[in-house]
Chain A
Amino acid sequence: MGEHPALVAAARHGLVADIAPVVVDAADTDELLRVARIDRLGGLVATALIDGVVEMNEETTAQVVELWHEQLVTVVVAESLAVRVAALFDRAGVSWRLTKGSAVARLDYPDPNVRLFGDVDVIVHPGSWTRALDALGAAGWTREAPEIGPGFDRSFGKGATLTAPDGAELDLHRRLAIGRFGVRLPTEALFTDLDVVTVGGRVIPTLDGPGRLLHACYHAALGGFRHLRAHRDVAQLLLVSEVDWAATAHMATRHGVQAVVARAVLDAWDALDLTVDHPARAWAAGTRIGRGDARALRVFAEERSFSQQALTAVTPLVGHGALRYLWTLSTQGGRGPLRPSAALGRARRAVGDLRR
Chain B
Amino acid sequence: MRRDPAAIWRAAPGYLVLGRPDRPPITVSGPGAEVWLLTDALDRRSIVDVLAARYDADREVVRADVDALLDRLVDDGFVLDDTVSAIDG
- Report Cα–Cα, A79/B20, bound state, in Å: 9
B interface majority secondary structure: strand
Q: Within 8 Å of chain B (Cβ to Cβ): is A50?
A: yes
Known contacts A69-B27, A200-B6, A201-B5: A79-B19 contact under CB 8 Å: yes
Number of A-B contacts (CB under 8 A): 57
Q: Of all chain A residues, which has the CB nearest B14?
A: A65
Q: Of all chain B residues, which has the CB nearest A201?
A: B5
Q: How many residues of A contact B (CB 8 A)?
A: 23
B24: chain A residues within 8 A (beta carbon): 77
0/1 string, A53-92, CB within 8 A of B gives 1: 0000000000001001100110111011101100100000
Known contacts A80-B20, A83-B21, A200-B20: A69-B15 contact under CB 8 Å: yes
Residue in B11, B15, B25 whose CB lies within 8 Å of A77: B25
A113 contacts B11, C-beta separation under 8 Å: yes
- Report Cα–Cα, A81/B24, bound state, in Å: 11
Between B5, B8, B27, the greatest number of chain A beta carbons within 10 A of the residue's beta carbon is seen for B8
- Report Cα–Cα, A310/B17, bound state, in Å: 40
- Report Cα–Cα, A73/B28, bound state, in Å: 11
A80 contacts B8, C-beta separation under 8 Å: yes
Between B15, B17, B24, the greatest number of chain A beta carbons within 10 A of the residue's beta carbon is seen for B17
Residue in B5, B9, B12 whose CB lies within 8 Å of A76: B9
B: which residues have CB within 8 A of A? 4-13, 15, 17-21, 24-25, 27
Q: Which 3 interchain pairs have the tightest Cβ spacing?
A: A201-B5, A76-B19, A83-B21
